[in-house]
Amino acid sequence: MAKEKFKTYEGVFDNFTNRTLFELITKGHFEGLESPISIGKESNVFTALNKQGQRLIVKIYRLETADFNRMYSYIQTDPRFAGLKKQRRKIIFAWCQREYRNLLKVREAGVSAPLPIVFKNNILVEEFIGNHNPASKLTTQPPQKPKIFFDLVIKNIKRLYQNNLTHGDLSAFNILNQKEKPVFIDFSHTTTKDNPRFKELFERDLKTVVQFFNKKGLKTTYESALKKITK
């Protein structure tokens, strides 16, 4: 069965990624890719099913087109990856591992985020968020009650902050609207407080979120949101 499902990927991914997919399938992590959720220059995101019929997310970082220089500019200041050599594949593999480790940490912190299942090389498997269809991003499904939703977003940012973490790339593109509750995704940029860029990334995240909700009719400020997080 795995070989049959594997054939459908030929010509879609590079040979190395094909081999990694095949290995994850043969180890029983999922049975095969379903539909693409997003196709980008950096990564492709698919739904997949496991043997129990549960839907999963498979995120595949592209080895040839991902901007590993940009990845390196973020990861080189992360103390957890000190000494990482600037080589394309090593950077992309570390980026994938970083997202897996970050998801574990933020889940432990009580942040609303997908559960990571497994990673290998440039492929990350994680929990599916949604019902039959994937939950929409805030960019396509704004909240019906912005104030309530915003307060929940701030609550999650506070949990990150209290655990010495910041998302690092938070925006309406990285927050899902799951039944009018936020779920944060895309944690590859997430870093710890001992990173010299922590303050810069935290402030950018919070300002971006405040700006989005103000455009949706909420009247709030960066200062008031910061107070809720740091008090």
Enzyme catalytic residues: 169, 186
Distance from first CA to last CA of the chain, Å, rounded? 55
Please give the Cα distance from 154 to 165 (Å, whole number). 14
Please give the Cα distance from 43 to 169 (Å, whole number). 15
- How is residue 42 written in tokens? 């950096």
The strands making up 136-137's β-sheet, listed across from edge to edge, are 136-137, 175-178, 181-184
Please give the Cα distance from 44 to 66 (Å, whole number). 10
Distances (CA, A) of 139 to 143, 172, 175, 185, 222: 10, 5, 9, 13, 20
Give SS3 for 31. coil
